Amino acid sequence: DAGVIQSPRHEVTEMGQEVTLRCKPISGHNSLFWYRQTMMRGLELLIYFNNNVPIDDSGMPEDRFSAKMPNASFSTLKIQPSEPRDSAVYFCASSLERNTGELFFGEGSRLTVL
């Protein structure tokens, strides 16, 4: 298996632009997580899905952030409009079991908003 695949790896955009990050989880995993990582705050959970259904989105910063999982093999995280404080590395992870399973992370998408 290729592991969790994220795209793009790097994104530089101007404030106000829309950003879409993509994730393909490991086949057969039923839980998918979106995290944001910064030096100051470490890894923060934004939202996670179980069987394509959003379970907890309390970590989504504000209405500018939205996430979808239209099927078991694809998820998107969208920021519209983007702001400089959104600059961070965004990780997608998948797991066989949401409560106790090992998380398999993608390589991350580094976002810079100018």
Residue in this structure with the two tokens 């379970």, named with its chain if needed:
55
For residue 113, what are the CA distances in angstroms to 4, 24, 36, 72? 24, 24, 14, 30
Residue number with CB closer to other proteins (12 or 55): 55
Choice between 71 and 100, CB closer to other proteins = 100
- State whether the Cα torsion 30-36-39-40 is positive or negative: negative
In the bound complex, what is the minimum distance in angstroms from residue 11's beta carbon to other proteins? 15
Q: Return the percent helix, strand and coil in the chain, to nearest 5.
A: 5, 55, 45
| CB 43, min distance to other proteins, A | 5
Binding site for other proteins (CB under 8 A): 4, 33, 41-45, 48, 55-56, 58-59, 91, 93, 98-100, 102-103, 105-108
Please, what is the minimum distance in Å from the beta carbon of residue 10 to other proteins? 10
